[in-house]
Amino acid sequence: EAGVAQSPRYKIIEKRQSVAFWCNPISGHATLYWYQQILGQGPKLLIQFQNNGVVDDSQLPKDRFSAERLKGVDSTLKIQPAKLEDSAVYLCASNPGGRPEAFFGQGTRLTVV
Amino acid sequence: GNSVTQMEGPVTLSEEAFLTINCTYTATGYPSLFWYVQYPGEGLQLLLKATKADDKGSNKGFEATYRKETTSFHLEKGSVQVSDSAVYFCALRTGTASKLTFGTGTRLQVTL
């Protein structure tokens, strides 16, 4: 089966600019996650969707980050305006339900200069 | 809350050496436990998992046993290869609707 697709793979922007990332989960997976992985650290959950509803966004900096999952399939994560500390890899993952593990995409590496 | 503690890296081994990466956890409820591997420039790949006490997960020569009494899930491999060089993450999940909680990762470097 096709894996989790993310784009772009790399993005460099200046601080205060905006950026958007896209994720297409594995077909049929109801749960979708966005994680932020800062260099040298483990991934940290930003937001979790169940179909197109938000389950957990407690760690999402809502003053600058937003995410949506229209029609319960694809998802976009946006940062506006970006700060230097947002430099990280943004990982999308999905889970089919009924299984404990999540499946990850290759990630988008964001550099804010 | 949930947390995962991994041994700090980097771990540097010669090829064919024995590998152990320690992982302990704290969880509310009864977690499922995972090891994920991240090769340079790649996303996370599931390496192995265990969903109940005393289960042993295994894959590609790697093994880890779910030890509830010591709240541990240590990763082992009897003979590492250069191709095993990567960052290894221990993770847990409680309940089928909750998030994965990760450790900070352990970088493994295997040399000839």
Which site among B100, B101, B104, B106 would you substitute to test the A interface, given the most A Cβ atoms closer than 10 Å to its Cβ?
B100
Residues from chain B that touch A48, judged by Cβ atoms under 8 A, are 99
Token pair for B82: 């250069």
CA dihedral A111, B4, B5, B7 (to 10 degrees): -70
Per-residue b or e along B49-85, where b marks 16 or more CB atoms closer than 10 Å to that residue's CB: bbbeeeeebeeeebbbbbbeeebbbbbebeebeeebb
Of A35 and A72, the one with more pLDDT: A35
> What mean pLDDT is predicted for residues A12-32?
96
> What mean pLDDT is predicted for residues A10-14?
97
Q: Residue B26 has what pLDDT?
A: 95
Query: Rounded distance, CA B49 to CA B59, Å?
Result: 9
Token pair for B2: 């949930």
Query: Rounded distance, CA B68 to CA A37, Å?
Result: 28
pLDDT at B97 over 80: no
Closest residue to A100, CB basis, from B32, B45, B103: B32
Query: Rounded distance, CA B100 to CA B15, Å?
Result: 31
Q: Does B4 lie at the interface with A, CB-CB under 8 angstroms? A: yes
pLDDT at A98 over 80: no
Closest residue to A101, CB basis, from B46, B97, B98: B46
pLDDT per position as a tens digit, B14-35:
999 999 999 999 998 889 999 9
Q: Residue B96 has what pLDDT?
A: 62
Q: What residues of chain A, 20 to 79, have a C-beta less than 8 Å from chain B?
A: 31, 33, 40-45, 48, 50, 55-56
Q: Does A101 lie at the interface with B, CB-CB under 8 angstroms? A: yes
Q: Residue B110 has what pLDDT?
A: 97
Q: Does B99 lie at the interface with A, CB-CB under 8 angstroms? A: yes
pLDDT per position as a tens digit, A39-55:
988 999 999 999 889 99
Q: Residue B107 has what pLDDT?
A: 96
DSSP result, chain A: ----EEE-SEEEE-TT--EEEEEE--TT--EEEEEEE-TTS--EEEEEEETTEEEE-TTS-TTTEEEE-GGGS-EEEEESS--GGG-EEEEEEEE-SSSS--EE---EEEEE-
pLDDT per position as a tens digit, B45-96:
999 999 999 999 999 999 999 999 999 999 999 999 999 999 999 999 987 6
Q: How much of chain A exceeds pLDDT 70, in percent? A: 99
Q: Residue B98 has what pLDDT?
A: 75
Query: Rounded distance, CA A12 to CA A88, Å?
Result: 11
Half-sphere exposure of A79 (CA within 13 A, CB side): 26
Closest residue to A56, CB basis, from B42, B49, B99: B99
Which site among A35, A54, A104 would you substitute to test the B interface, given the most B Cβ atoms closer than 10 Å to its Cβ?
A104
Q: Residue B43 has what pLDDT?
A: 87
Q: Residue A108 has what pLDDT?
A: 96
Query: Rounded distance, CA B31 to CA B92, Å?
Result: 6
Residues from chain B that touch A103, judged by Cβ atoms under 8 A, are 46
Distances (CA, A) of A75 to A70, A71, A90, A110, B66: 7, 9, 13, 17, 34
Residues from chain B that touch A59, judged by Cβ atoms under 8 A, are none
